[in-house]
Structure 1
Amino acid sequence: MTLYPLQFSPLFKYRIWGGEKLKTQLNKNYSEENIGESWEISDVEGDETKVVSGALQGKTLKDLISEYKGAFVGEKVYKEFGSDFPLLIKFIDAKTPLSIQVHPSNEIARERHNSFGKNEMWYVMQADNDAELIVGFDEEVSQADYKKHLENNTVLDVMHHETVKSGDTFYIPTGRVHAIGAGVLLAEIQQTSDITYRIYDYDRVDAKTGQKRDLHNDLAIDVLDYTVHDNYKTDYNIGKNEAHILVNSPYFKTNIIEVEGTLKRDHTALDSFVIYMCVEGDLELQYDDVNYTVKTGETILLPAAIPSVELKSSGAKCIEVFM
Structure 2
Amino acid sequence: MENKLYPIKFTPILKDKIWGGQKLKTILNKNSDLPNIGESWEISDVEGDTSIVSNGGLTGKSLKDLLETFKSDLVGEKNYKQFGNKFPLLIKFIDAREDLSIQLHPNDELAAKRHNSFGKTEMWYTMQADEGANLIVGFNQKMTRETYLEHLENKTLTDILNFDKVKAGDTYFIEVGRVHAIGAGVMVAEIQQTSDITYRVYDWDRVDDQGNERELHNDLAIDAFDFDMPDNFRVTYAKEENKSNQMVSCPYFNTSYLEVTGTLNKANNYDSFMIYMCVDGEAEIKTATVTEVLRKGETVLLPAAVKDFEITAKYAKLLEVYV
TM-score normalised per structure 2: 0.98
Which residues of 2 match residues 232-311 of structure 1 at below 5 A?
232-267=233-268, 269-311=269-311
Amino acid at match of 1:116: F
* Identical counterparts, % of pairs: 56
1:134–1:180 CA contact under 8 A, matched in 2: yes
User: How far apart in 2 are the matches of 1:112 and 1:17?
Assistant: 27
1:107–1:117 CA contact under 8 A, matched in 2: yes
Seen in structure 2, the aligned counterparts of structure 1 residues 230 and 89 have a Cα distance that, compared at 3 Å, is closer
- The match for 1:58 is 60
Residue among 165, 168, 178 paired with 1:166: 168
- The match for 2:23 is 21
Please, what is the CA RMSD of the aligned residues? 1.0
Aligned residues: 321
- Give the secondary-structure state (helix, strand or coil) at the position aligned to 1:9: coil
Please state how far the C-alpha of 1:59 moved relative to its aligned partner: 1.1
User: How far apart in 1 are the matches of 2:224 and 2:34?
Assistant: 35
Residue among 151, 156, 159 paired with 2:158: 156
Q: Does residue 1:8 correspond to 2:10, yes or no? A: yes
Amino acid at match of 2:83: F
- Give the secondary-structure state (helix, strand or coil) at the position aligned to 1:194: coil
Please state how far the C-alpha of 1:227 moved relative to its aligned partner: 2.6
- 1:251-308 CA-to-partner distances (Å, cap 9, x unmatched) read 11111100000011110x2000000000011111111142211111100000000001
User: How far apart in 1 are the matches of 2:61 and 2:69?
Assistant: 10
Which residues of 2 match residues 188-267 of structure 1 at below 5 A?
188-207=190-209, 209-227=210-228, 229-267=230-268
Please state how far the C-alpha of 1:229 moved relative to its aligned partner: 3.1
- The match for 2:98 is 96
Amino acid at match of 2:68: S
User: How far apart in 2 are the matches of 1:67 and 1:50?
Assistant: 14
- The match for 2:316 is 316
Gaps of 5+ in 1: none
User: How far apart in 2 are the matches of 1:225 and 1:138?
Assistant: 15
User: How far apart in 1 are the matches of 2:57 and 2:163?
Assistant: 47
User: How far apart in 2 are the matches of 1:55 and 1:228?
Assistant: 47
Please state how far the C-alpha of 1:237 moved relative to its aligned partner: 0.5
Amino acid at match of 2:272: S
User: How far apart in 2 are the matches of 1:230 and 1:3?
Assistant: 42
User: How far apart in 1 are the matches of 2:181 and 2:36?
Assistant: 18
1:137–1:228 CA contact under 8 A, matched in 2: no
- The match for 2:44 is 42
Gaps of 5+ in 2: none
User: How far apart in 1 are the matches of 2:138 and 2:249?
Assistant: 20
Please state how far the C-alpha of 1:228 moved relative to its aligned partner: 5.4
- The match for 2:149 is 147
1:203–1:212 CA contact under 8 A, matched in 2: yes
- Give the secondary-structure state (helix, strand or coil) at the position aligned to 2:235: coil
- Give the secondary-structure state (helix, strand or coil) at the position aligned to 2:313: strand
